[in-house]
Each structure stands twice: as structure tokens, then as C-alpha cells.
Structure 1
Amino acid sequence: MKNLDLFTFDIRFQFRHGFYAAYALVSILYIGLLLLMPASYVEKTSIFIIFTDPSVLGFFFVGGLVLLEKDQSIFNTLFVSPIRIHDYLVSKVLSLTVLAMVSSSIIFGVVHQHHVDYLPFLIAVTLCSIFFTLLGILLAARVDTVNMFLYTSPLFVIVFYLPLLSFFNLADPVLLYLLPTQAVLILLEGAFDSLTVQDYIYAIAVFMAWISFAYILTYYAFQRFLRTKCFS
């Protein structure tokens, strides 16, 4: 029950601070842009938009959330309760993944309607959001202010945007396939073309490895963050 209560609290907190309103507006702007584009560009542009924005919104939002909760001294009361760090991380990841899935699904649903396969699309958005939200918490645990988070975030995530080189046919080194974001692009493109079982196995396996690694790093970084910056 405490996990559900914490998840509900996060959803309400995000709603109250305008996250849903902000992404409703962003989604409307993206839909308008895509509907006005020539049909030949819509598929590739919509994939690019989902890859670079709604799927990774958790990274940027969670940094602000963690630092805002620190400033509001929420951790001082939250973690004297039976809430564990694991519960906190899971709640943050899932609540922001819900927002990413809702925003992305609305954009794709309005623009493409029933002309896409939503299974690889939803897998891509879900796994991408989980991974980047964990990265966002990891970075937030290492900085002191929102400005510092925003200044350092591009350097923190730029390597994960390298698969765009392959997406735009600029380069296709085999090492890109070790990155989880290469798997995201394969799954998103698979929403318009058929994927093999091997494609699904590759994408999910790569993501599970990266998400596990990111979770371990984030857990211990956040534990140290609480000990040195919140309860010191």
C-alpha cells in the first residue's frame, strides 16, 4: 500500500506543479507541427520527436523534482517513515513513465491513428523513460542546484544521442548497438515496419542490462545524497 500511496503522491505532486499542463501544451504543439508537415517527412520526424522529447522527459523533470523536494525538506519527513530508497526510486520512475507514455501515445495516436504497431512503440517509450529517469536522479544526486543540473545534463546524456547518426544515415558504427538508445530507434522504426523476434530480444536485453546498471549507480548515489546533503 505504501508504494501505491507514494506513486499517487508523485502523480499529484507533478500535476500540482504543472508537469501535465506543460506536456499537454507541448503535445499539442508537436501534433500541430506534424500535421502541417509534408506526409513524406511525418514518419521520420515523429520518431525523432518521441526519441528526443517525451521519451526522455523524465530525465529533465526528475532533476527538478528531486532538488525541489530537497529544498522543501520533504526528505526529512519522507525517509523517517518506512519508505525505502527503492520505493522512492520506483515511484519516481513509474510516475514519470506514465507521463511519457500518455504524452507520446497522444502524439502518435492523433498523427498516425491506426497505421502503426503500438507494441514496439510502447516498449520503446517505457524502457527509454525508465532508463533516462534513473539517469536524471543519478545526476540530481550529484549536484546542488537546478541550474547546475541544467548546465551539466547535456554532457551527461550526449553519448546516448549518438544513435541519431545511424538514424539519419550519417554513420553506422557497430558500437552504437551497445547503447540502449539504438534499441529505442529500432523499436520506434518497428512501429511502422515489422520487427523480428531477434529485434525484440536484442532491444529488451540491451535495455535490461543498462537499466540494471543505471539503477545500481542511482541507488548508491542517492543514498549518499541523502546522507551528505539532506541529513548532514
Structure 2
Amino acid sequence: MKRLWYTVLTDIQLQWRNGFYAVMGITLFFWVLLRTQAGNWDLNWLMGVFVIGNILITSFYFIAGLVLLERDEGTLTAQAVTPLRPWEYLFSKGISLFILAFVENLVIVVLYAGFDFNWLVLILGLLLSFLLYLFCGLIMITRYASINGFLMPSVLAIGIITIPVIAYVVHWNHWLLYLHPMQAILMVLNGAFIGQNPSMWIYGFSYSILTVIGLSWLAYQVTRDKLYV
């Protein structure tokens, strides 16, 4: 356990040195600026969209950046011969980045929705969306040696991952969307602000959790087989 927490602290320091927290500050400034132009509009129906869109950076792209950074610095090669296990590597990255994502998105939510939301559901929705993006980003980045090679395919991947979000914004609904894992997470996050009926709660949480469990297994496999070599 001490090894894990030491690794978490090391990851936080690495993120600080490489400007991850600066990116968070710039992002928050953008959201504050946007809020000044939003007037008194009721944006609760869009809060789930805001969270899913914003957490993309601090999960999917940040984990990809960290892996490439550690690969270039030779850190991954060194870690492969240390007692640090693949699951500890995953946990460390997840914990350190979730702290960043949680603080950033909580500020945005309070800024736009005040304190009138279900805190527990929001935290769970944040965690589920974060983990889905994190594991997808980690699985995908192992196929690329540079950020330039990763960027264009990542845009296509994000387009596919966020299909339900786009459909929700344009008010298009179809039963096929409910086969998409992001639809389940969107239902959970929306429920924190506008509520949901019981069947949507069951669907949202069960499908999201099953998806994250499946992705976590795949992420562990690629960490063990492709990063720890």
C-alpha cells in the first residue's frame, strides 16, 4: 500500500511539472468566461453533457500523454523491473488523474448549477465516465509510439464514444443508442440534475458498471503485456 501511495504522489508531481494542472486552470478560465455569457438560462439538462465533454481531456488524453511521456523518458522500462505491479500502475494513474478531474468538474458544476444536485449520483457518474475514458485512452495509446500518430485516430474514437452525447444535444432518440455504454453514463449524470425514473437508474448504473469492469480487465492486460515489457 505504501508503494501505491508513493507512486500516486510521484504521478501528481509529474503531472504538475508537465503542465497538466496549468491546462486545468486554463480550462476553468474558459468555463468561467462562458458562464458570464450564459445569463440566467437553465442549463441543468446540459450538465451531463458538460461533464462528459470536459472530463475527456483529464482522462482520455491525459493518460495517453502520461504513457507517452513515461515511455520517452524510459520510466516504463525502469518500472518493469521494479516491484510495482501492473494493477498498482493502473490505480496510481487513475487516482492521481481522478483527483484532478473531480476538482475541475466539481467547480464547473457548482459554477453552472449551484448546489442543487444529487452529490452522490454526480460523484458516481463522474467516476464512471472518467474510468471509461481512462481505460479507452490507455488501451488505445499502447498502439502508437507518438502523439502525432495517436491524435487523428483518437478523434475518430472519441466521435464514436460520444455518439449518444451528440444525439442528446440535438434531441434525437433511438432505442439503438441504449446499446452504447456512454448512453448509460449520460443517464446517470443527467439524473444528478434532472432526476430519472427507476428503470433508467437500473439501466444506467448496471450497464455503466459492467462496461467499466470489462474495460478495466482489458486495460490491465495491455498494461501487463504492452507497457510492462
Amino acid of the residue matched to residue 223 of structure 2? Answer: F
Distance in 1, matches of 2:200 and 2:72, equals 44
The residue number in structure 2 matching 1:160 is: 161
Counterpart mapping for 1:33-182 below 5 A: 33-40=34-41, 42-55=43-56, 57-182=58-183
Q: Residue deviations 1:77-122, cap 9 Å, x none? A: 2221111111111211222122111100011122322222222222
The residue number in structure 2 matching 1:32 is: 33
The answer on whether the counterparts of 2:47 and 2:193 sit within 8 Å (CA) in structure 1 is no
Q: 1:67 to 1:86 in 2, by over 3 A?
A: same
The answer on whether the counterparts of 1:120 and 1:191 sit within 8 Å (CA) in structure 2 is yes
The residue number in structure 1 matching 2:207 is: 206
The answer on whether the counterparts of 2:45 and 2:193 sit within 8 Å (CA) in structure 1 is no
The answer on whether the counterparts of 2:59 and 2:101 sit within 8 Å (CA) in structure 1 is yes
Shift of 1:196: 4.2
Higher relative contact order (CA 8 A, sep 6+): 2
Q: CA RMSD in A?
A: 2.0
Distance in 1, matches of 2:198 and 2:155, equals 34
Q: 1:55 to 1:117 in 2, by over 3 A?
A: farther
Distance in 2, matches of 1:75 and 1:169, equals 43
Distance in 2, matches of 1:38 and 1:178, equals 36
Give the unaligned 5+ runs of structure 2. Answer: none
Distance in 1, matches of 2:198 and 2:45, equals 23
Distance in 1, matches of 2:7 and 2:198, equals 36
Amino acid of the residue matched to residue 207 of structure 2? Answer: V
SS of 2:193's equivalent in the other structure is coil
Q: 1:10 to 1:217 in 2, by over 3 A?
A: same
Shift of 1:64: 0.9
Distance in 2, matches of 1:222 and 1:191, equals 33
Percent identity reads 25
Amino acid of the residue matched to residue 43 of structure 2? Answer: V
Structure 2 residue 15 is the aligned partner of structure 1 residue 14: yes
Q: 1:34 to 1:14 in 2, by over 3 A?
A: same
Q: Residue deviations 1:185-211, cap 9 Å, x none? A: 222222222334443332221122111
Q: Residue deviations 1:121-170, cap 9 Å, x none? A: 22111111011111111111111111111121022232221112441354
The residue number in structure 2 matching 1:219 is: 220
Distance in 2, matches of 1:17 and 1:201, equals 40
Q: How many equivalent pairs are there? A: 228
SS of 2:194's equivalent in the other structure is coil
SS of 1:192's equivalent in the other structure is helix
Amino acid of the residue matched to residue 151 of structure 1? Answer: M
Give the unaligned 5+ runs of structure 1. Answer: none
